[in-house]
Amino acid sequence: MEYSGIDLHCHSTVSDGVLTPTQLAQRAYENGATLWSLTDHDEVGGQAEARQAALALGMNYITGIEISVTWLNKTVHIVGLHFDPENMALRNGLQKIRDDRVSRAHVMAARLEDFGVKNAFEGALALAGNPDLLSRTHFARYMVEQGHCKHMQEVFDRYLGDGKPAYIPGAWATLLEAVTWITEAGGTAVIAHPGRYKYSSSEFSTLFHSFKLMGGTAIEVVTGSHKPEQYHQYANVAKHYGFFASCGSDFHGPNESKMDVGKVPELPLGLTPVWEQWLDD
């Protein structure tokens, strides 16, 4: 089966997106997607709705998740695709990650208070709806709404990005835990948007080698979090390590994402797309 408009990375209101799974499915379909996956952060609660909405529109659907990982004292995201969302080891692991979000959010709010941002916890919680899902994105939206920054990237650049004054690391999964949860649930583990991580060349090499030894088999090449010139950079990484290539918009909302859901450019030539594994399913 041939696919077009493939998007295997986006977020709904179940984590830190602004559209529901059903609304995302509709938008992806209208933008020409034929194969789609919802990959909410550390949460599979939107999978049933996403699948139902996609299939009703005639799109093919792949289960998805984006797991928060700490590796070399920095946050890395591992996308899981085509897994069993009812797998208990996976679900228990994700719950452990979410349990830390409330205490982390309180500390971030206290840090932001020092910079004159009042009621940050309450404001972020109102946007998230569920304390288990509180993220830096919800704080950033609140700060833009309150006029502390002009746009969300400014919030991360000044306050909430890694190493910034209000950044608090989360008690995330280890790389081995995330890859194991995904693979033991029958899925494919993917390094999300590697171009976002601030590692040295030797650290990247160690990350890719370690990931592969643990059972990880894919890397995102084309993503809304990469600049176009990075597509070929990570295409070469995929070829060098023998990774499948994945792609996704990393869409969160119409006014804050660099790439619209379903409007993902094609992968560079010479790669093995991650979805080729699933063509006979």
Supply angle C-alpha 25, 31, 36, rounded to 5: 45
Q: Which domains does the chain have, with CATH numbers?
A: 21-96+172-278 (3.20.20.140), 101-160 (1.10.150.650)
- Calpha distance 111→186 (Å, rounded): 40
Reported as a single tens digit per residue, the pLDDT across 255-273 is 888 999 999 999 999 999 9
What is the band of 5 on the pLDDT scale with cuts at 50, 70, 90? confident
* Strand 218-223 versus strand 244-248 pairing type: parallel
pLDDT band at 1 (very low <50, low <70, confident <90, very high): very low
pLDDT of residue 103: 86
> Collapsing DSSP states into helix, strand and coil, what is residue 245?
strand
Q: Which tens digit of pLDDT belongs to each residue from 77-108?
A: 999 999 999 999 999 999 988 888 888 899 99
Q: Give the 3-state secondary structure percentages of the chain, helix then strand then coil, rounded to 5.
A: 45, 15, 40
Which of the four pLDDT bands, split at 50, 70 and 90, describes residue 280?
low
pLDDT per residue as tens digits for the range 144-161: 999 999 998 999 999 998
76 with 175: CB under 8 angstroms?
yes
Q: How many residues does the chain have?
A: 281
- Provide the CA 267 distance to its chain's centre, in angstroms: 19
| Beta carbons of 252 and 137 less than 8 angstroms apart | yes
Query: Mean pLDDT, to the nearest integer, of 37-52?
Result: 97
d(CA 121, CA 126): 9
* Residue 10 CB partners (closer than 8 Å, separation 6+): 17, 24, 28, 36, 37, 38, 39, 248, 249, 250, 251, 252, 261
Nearest to 226 by CA among 211, 247, 244: 247
Range 216-236 average pLDDT: 96
Mean pLDDT along residues 119-144: 89
Question: Percent of the chain, pLDDT > 70?
Answer: 98
> Would you call 73 exposed, middle or buried from its count of C-beta atoms within 10 A (0-12, 13-18, 19+)?
exposed
- Is the pLDDT assigned to residue 46 strictly greater than 50? yes
